[in-house]
Amino acid sequence: MSGDSGAVLAPPGVQRDGGWATRGRLAGHVAIVTGGTRGLGLAMATAFLQEGASVICAARRETSLADLTAVHGDRVRVATVDVCSAESVQSLMDGAMRQFGRVDILVSNAGVSRNGKIVDLGEREWREVLDTNLTGAFHCTKYVVPCMDAAGGGRIINISAGMSSRVAPGAAAYSASKAALEMFTRASAVELAKKGILVNCIAPGFVNTGMYEPLRDDERLRSRYERMMVSGRPGEPSEVAAAAVFLASAEGSYVNGHVLEVNGGLLWS
């Protein structure tokens, strides 16, 4: 295990009275963030590193995270994975166990969006969205459980979206995948509670990174979506990352099966 102190730590699912400091809240813990190479995933990985965790940033493409490595050294690892493939996810978990000997936190963040009205949407695009956003989280949950079991517990955080419960024409595949992911979160929470594994979901609104950027740069779409934002602005990646740190840390030890909307207030369309 990778704790800076080398001390044996309780898994993050178990809170020891007085045993947790307000800084370094994830010290010694090991996190996997799928889609952790850019956008929201990278923001959450960075926040976990700042809280003392070791983090594996996993995505399909090889990416150099030289800036992060310069600051956090070998607590940062980059791994390739395609969450659509069970074999690929299993080998991600095997690699994590080889490198760190434990996995305490999983963020199933890898996601794609393919827009198109239902009558126009190709079956290929539909499957790509469902396979990545929903089946990908199923693979990651299924294969991380033995690792967490070995550590005595853990935290799983799935990344849904405000569109899981709001309708936008052309977003049927994305919205359906995220709504199903929220139900999968609740089902996982019930099934894994006895293992000390807490499963929660963050549903971000529009966040100033990643897949929001094409909307932000399109005047017509931006004004349509800005009307939904009660706070009058998109969120910052760090504002979503702060919620992930809360759910991953001892402070979130009595939150389970919850969908946490982090959207500054979002109107129903």
The residues annotated as belonging to the active site are 174
- Contact between 263 and 162 under an 8 Å Cβ cutoff? The reply is yes
Q: What are phi and psi of 56, to 5 degrees?
A: -100, 115
Alpha carbon distance 10, 19 (integer Å): 9
**Between 105 and 144, how does the x/- string for binding to ligand NAP read (CB under 6 A)?**
----xxxx-------------------x---x--------
Work out the number of other CB atoms within 10 angstroms of the CB of residue 208.
16
28 is a site residue for ligand NAP (CB under 6 A): no
Q: Which of 84, 145, 157, 259 binds ligand NAP (CB under 6 A)?
A: 84
Q: Which of 159, 197, 243, 247 binds ligand NAP (CB under 6 A)?
A: 159
Quote the longest CA-to-CA distance of the chain.
57
* Comparison of 43 and 151: residue with beta carbon closer to ligand NAP: 43
45 is a site residue for ligand NAP (CB under 6 A): no
- Contact between 2 and 28 under an 8 Å Cβ cutoff? The reply is yes
**Alpha-carbon dihedral angle through residues 248, 251, 154, 25, given to the nearest 10 degrees:** 60
264 is a site residue for ligand NAP (CB under 6 A): no
* Comparison of 38 and 195: residue with beta carbon closer to ligand NAP: 38
User: Under rule CB under 6 A, how many of the chain's residues touch ligand NAP?
Assistant: 29
37 is a site residue for ligand NAP (CB under 6 A): yes
- Contact between 143 and 106 under an 8 Å Cβ cutoff? The reply is no
Alpha carbon distance 244, 45 (integer Å): 10
Binding site for ligand NAP (CB under 6 A): 34-35, 37-41, 59-61, 81-84, 109-112, 132, 136, 159, 161, 204, 206-207, 209-212
